[in-house]
Structure 1
Amino acid sequence: MLLALLMLLLGVALLTLGADRLVAGSSAIALRTGISPLLIGLTVVAFATSSPELVVSVMAALQGQSAIAVGNVVGSNIANLGLVLAAAALLYPVRCEQDTLRRELPLMVGAAGLLFLLLYNGMISRLEGVVLLVLLAAFVAYQVHLARRQMAGHQVAEEVGGYAGITVSRATLFVVFGTGCLYVGSEAFLSGAITIGRALGVSEAVIGLTLVSVGTSLPELAATVAAAFKRETGMVLGNIIGSNVFNVLAVLGITATIIPLGAGGISYTDLSVMLLFSLAVWMAFAWRRDMGRVAGVLLVGGYAGYLAWLLV
């Protein structure tokens, strides 16, 4: 148990360092190329911070623990909204632009709804995994198209400040180094968390929905908190939306293509909570473009209630 706690502390330290370098490098790339922080968050940062979910879900599925693989994605998507977005909103108001409200947020809700439908029979087949990968390719292609259009129009990312002296090559090294720290840090945290969970006799489904999902969401949390402190609100929202889309399309798509996934102990209640959180965030931004401390408290309260329901 002592070793598990030490692994948790090591994971937190690496996640903090990795998040700072990832945000710095990504912000510098946005500034130097003219791509908006939102698009950087939707692609580079989102894919980097979703890599722990991918590794954990694939390894869990190969070990016959598909409940952890699916629960990891469902729980991570809930945690990204109820914990990560809430933490950012508590630190600094998160702004949602009109294009994001009209374009990316519906995609996030659609990904949650698609997973809800795919698990109607309790599993995701290999064919359904391939369909998810095709949708992922379309999503990435669309984001690349938007990035190229921004670069062609020379739209300078004005909200990114303090990175004018960082070259693109150096910023890329920051992104690679930060991603590596996030990966190693999340693995260390997960090792400790799973050991503690199993020692307490928690089921695989609950481990996936709580300990594993929170552990694999720590990169998003660390990167988001770092971005919020630097007031990079576009990157904050882009990271969260992109991570939730990548979790469904990339993590489950790749994992199910390798080996079909069973839902295990993941219930429609868990899927409904994921979908309701997605809809609630979309409606909150539609009602008011700035998400502040009140909304952050409500999101954290809802997430705490969900965890209490799981663990009681």
Structure 2
Amino acid sequence: MILSAACIVVGFASLIFGANWLVDGASSLAKKNKVSDLVIGLTIVAFGTSAPELVVNSVASYNGFSDIVFGNIIGSNNFNLFVILGLAGLIYPIKVQSSTAWREIPISLLVTLFLFVIANDFFIGQHPKISRGDGFFLFMGFIGFLYYVFKQLRFEKKEAIAPIDSSNYKIWGLMVIGIAGLLIGGKLVVDNGIAVATELGVSQKIIGLTIIAAGTSLPELVTSMVAALKKNSDIAIGNVIGSNIFNILLILSISSFVSPMRYNLNFNTDVLMLMGGTVFLMIAMFTGKRKKLDRWEAFVLLSSYLLYTTYLVTKEI
């Protein structure tokens, strides 16, 4: 257990350093290329921090573990929205750009609603599942989202900024090393956390509902918290919204290409929770300080997740 505990410490250190390097590299890349931090957060950072979900879900789909695939995606998205934005907003109120309030957050809601509809097969009447055909439509949605993001580049007007001394090699090197640190750190924390929990006699159900569910979201968690500490709101919220969209449109579509997956209707409650949280985030943009996630709103997000998780755990015991 001592070795596992030590590995957990090393894992968290890797997560923290990796997040620092990724945020610094991403911010430098944005400034050097006169691209907004939000675009970088919605794309490169979001994809990098979603890599654990991609690996876990591809393997789970290949082995026929549909519940792990859906549980990981839906659980990670809820964790991203309620916990990561909640903690980041408590650290520093998150100022949100108009495009995020009016377009990116609604897109995230529509994507979740689309998942709810196709997973339940409302219009076909078959057994609930995500087929390869459904995956194709999800993947086309992902291509459409990328087109939308890069189309915004033409309309951005960046203020003049001082030249960035770092070379492209150094910037990309920081980002690659940062993502590697997040992946390695996340794996160390998850694997050794499971080992410690098992040795302490914690049931596999509880381990799955806590360590595994949150484990693949550790990169997003640390990255957004570091971004909040650096007062870089665009990367903090872009990482979360981008990751949630990536998880459904890209990772779920790839998982369905590997193998079609039956959908457990018990996940509907979790999907509705995700939609409700996204609606709350949209409303929060126009209450209190407009286009800003205030600390009290962040507290509501975090508290809601803790209450909901307590309910799930007590129901499963």
Q: Same fold (TM over 0.5)?
A: yes
How far does residue 5 in structure 1 lie from its aligned partner after superposition?
Answer: 3.5
* 1:30 aligns to 2:57 (yes or no): no
1:297 is aligned, of 296, 299, 310, to: 299
Structure 2, unaligned stretches of length 5 or more? 121-126
- Please tell me whether the aligned partners of residues 18 and 177 of structure 1 are also in contact (alpha carbons under 8 angstroms): yes
- Please tell me whether the aligned partners of residues 19 and 182 of structure 2 are also in contact (alpha carbons under 8 angstroms): yes
Q: 1:255 to 1:207 in 2, by over 3 A?
A: farther
- Please tell me whether the aligned partners of residues 118 and 124 of structure 1 are also in contact (alpha carbons under 8 angstroms): yes
- CA–CA separation in structure 2 for the residues paired with 1:61 and 1:191: 20
- Please tell me whether the aligned partners of residues 41 and 234 of structure 1 are also in contact (alpha carbons under 8 angstroms): yes
- CA–CA separation in structure 1 for the residues paired with 2:52 and 2:117: 25
Match of 1:136 in 2: 142
How far does residue 138 in structure 1 lie from its aligned partner after superposition?
Answer: 1.1
How far does residue 149 in structure 1 lie from its aligned partner after superposition?
Answer: 4.4
Q: 1:265 to 1:196 in 2, by over 3 A?
A: farther
- Please tell me whether the aligned partners of residues 37 and 157 of structure 1 are also in contact (alpha carbons under 8 angstroms): no
- Please tell me whether the aligned partners of residues 108 and 245 of structure 1 are also in contact (alpha carbons under 8 angstroms): yes
Q: 1:245 to 1:299 in 2, by over 3 A?
A: same
Rg bigger for which structure?
2
Report the 3-state secondary structure (helix = DSSP H, G, I; strand = E; otherwise coil) of the residue aligned with 1:231. Answer: coil
One-letter code aligned to 2:113: G
- Please tell me whether the aligned partners of residues 93 and 292 of structure 2 are also in contact (alpha carbons under 8 angstroms): yes
- CA–CA separation in structure 1 for the residues paired with 2:265 and 2:193: 19
Structure 1, unaligned stretches of length 5 or more? none
Match of 1:21 in 2: 21
One-letter code aligned to 2:237: L
Q: How does 1:154-169 map to 2 (within 5 A)?
A: 155-156=158-159, 164-169=164-169
- Please tell me whether the aligned partners of residues 209 and 313 of structure 2 are also in contact (alpha carbons under 8 angstroms): no
Query: Normalised by the size of structure 2, how large is the TM-score?
Result: 0.89
Alignment length (residue pairs): 304
- CA–CA separation in structure 2 for the residues paired with 1:185 and 1:266: 31
1:223-242, Cα deviation, whole Å (9 max, x unpaired): 11111111111111111110
How far does residue 6 in structure 1 lie from its aligned partner after superposition?
Answer: 3.7
Aligned-residue Cα RMSD (Å) equals: 2.1
How far does residue 23 in structure 1 lie from its aligned partner after superposition?
Answer: 0.1
1:38-76, Cα deviation, whole Å (9 max, x unpaired): 111000100000111111111122223221111011011
- Please tell me whether the aligned partners of residues 193 and 212 of structure 1 are also in contact (alpha carbons under 8 angstroms): no
One-letter code aligned to 1:290: K
Match of 1:282 in 2: 282
Match of 1:92 in 2: 92
How far does residue 283 in structure 1 lie from its aligned partner after superposition?
Answer: 1.3
How far does residue 148 in structure 1 lie from its aligned partner after superposition?
Answer: 4.5
1:306 is aligned, of 303, 308, 316, to: 308
